[in-house]
Structure 1
Amino acid sequence: MKSEEEVLKAIGERLKAIRIQKGYTSYEAFALDHDLGRMQYWRLETGKTNITVKTLYKVLEIHEMSFPEFFSTGFD
Structure 2
Amino acid sequence: MAPRDDNPDELTQKTLKQVGERLRAIRKGKGFSNYEQFANKYALNRSTYGKYEKGQDLRLSSLLKILRIMEISPSDFFSEGFDS
TM-score by length of 2: 0.84
1:43 aligned to 2:51? yes
RMSD of the alignment, in Å? Answer: 0.9
Partner Cα separation in structure 1 for residue 41 and residue 61 of structure 2: 19
Moved over 4 A (4+): none
| Counterpart code for 2:26 | I
1:26 — aligned with what?
34
1:70 — aligned with what?
77
Select the residue among 11, 17, 41 that pairs with 2:25. Answer: 17
Name whichever structure is richer in helix by fraction.
1
Measured after TM superposition, the shift of residue 32 of structure 1 is 0.4
| Counterpart code for 1:66 | S
TM-score by length of 1: 0.93
Partner Cα separation in structure 1 for residue 12 and residue 70 of structure 2: 24
Point out where structure 2 has 5 or more consecutive residues left out of the alignment: 1-9
Aligned pair count reads 74
